[in-house]
Amino acid sequence: MSMLTPPGMGGRKYRITGDRYPRMRRPRHRRRIILTIVAAACALGLAGWGTLQLIDVFGGRSGTAHAAQGEQPCRDGAEADTAEAKTAARKLPAPGTLTVNVFNATPRSGLAKRTADELQKRGFKIGKVGNAPAAYDKKIKGAGILLGPQAAADGPLKVLATQLTGAQQKTDGRKGAELDLIIGNTFKALATQQAAGKSLSLLTHPSPAPAAATKC
């Protein structure tokens, strides 16, 4: 074997020409290539997943889902308000079930009779009509005072108050269910029948509270 024969060539003879010699190629790094391919695939997968998430958010799907989840409490709140309104309507008595005593605490004559007649036309039952007791006679500066038992505070007195704007509502220790309407110095007339009817309607059928204020 010639001294110019590269190692590993066995006994084969090669003709050497010029200044170039045959060389052995190094084995390729297959492991590095495989790892590079796997890393590239993972990167592409993550990029694709992130793109889908952005499309989902900006496309409105997530907002729609969150809105749908938030609608249920609002519907429940509206149903609760409706139930509360119906309960309030059942508790309030009709004018025809209330007996009202009308007293005049002013120097002007005839106010008690005219007021009692008007209340009767509007469906109220009329009890006593006359001058106010000494404790109130000539001592009421406002439009009037509505008196009744403590049990009437949340129902009968509120119904009667729809007929006299600005009247003060009070309760005392009486045992009966009758109400007193005592006319004061600034009294001019009862509320118009239309205005009183509207107030009574709002009282017996209160509007439900807005969904936002609330509870959404």
Collapsed DSSP state (helix, strand, coil) of residue 62: helix
In percent, the amount of the chain with pLDDT more than 70 equals 62
CA–CA distances in Å: residue 41 to residues 49, 52, 112, 115: 12, 17, 95, 91
Residue (of 81, 78, 103) closest to 178 by Cα position? 103
Predicted local confidence at residue 120, as pLDDT: 98
Listed ranges 8-12, 52-56, 146-150; the one with the highest mean pLDDT: 146-150
Read off the tokens for 183: 């006319």
Q: Is the pLDDT of residue 49 over 90?
A: no
Q: Is the pLDDT of residue 138 over 80?
A: yes
Predicted local confidence at residue 132, as pLDDT: 97
DSSP 123-147: T-EEEEEEEPPTTTTT---SSEEEE
C-beta of residue 105 within 8 angstroms of C-beta of residue 184: yes
Q: What is the mean pLDDT of the chain?
A: 79
In the chain, beta strands by DSSP E: 99-104, 125-131, 144-149, 168-172, 179-183
Read off the tokens for 79: 């149903």
Predicted local confidence at residue 46, as pLDDT: 72
Give the H/E segment covering residue 49: helix 30-58
Q: Is the pLDDT of residue 160 over 80?
A: yes
C-beta of residue 167 within 8 angstroms of C-beta of residue 182: no
C-beta of residue 100 within 8 angstroms of C-beta of residue 180: yes
pTM for the full model? 0.57
Q: Is the pLDDT of residue 135 over 80?
A: yes
Q: CA-CA distance, 7 to 152, in Å (whole number)?
A: 120
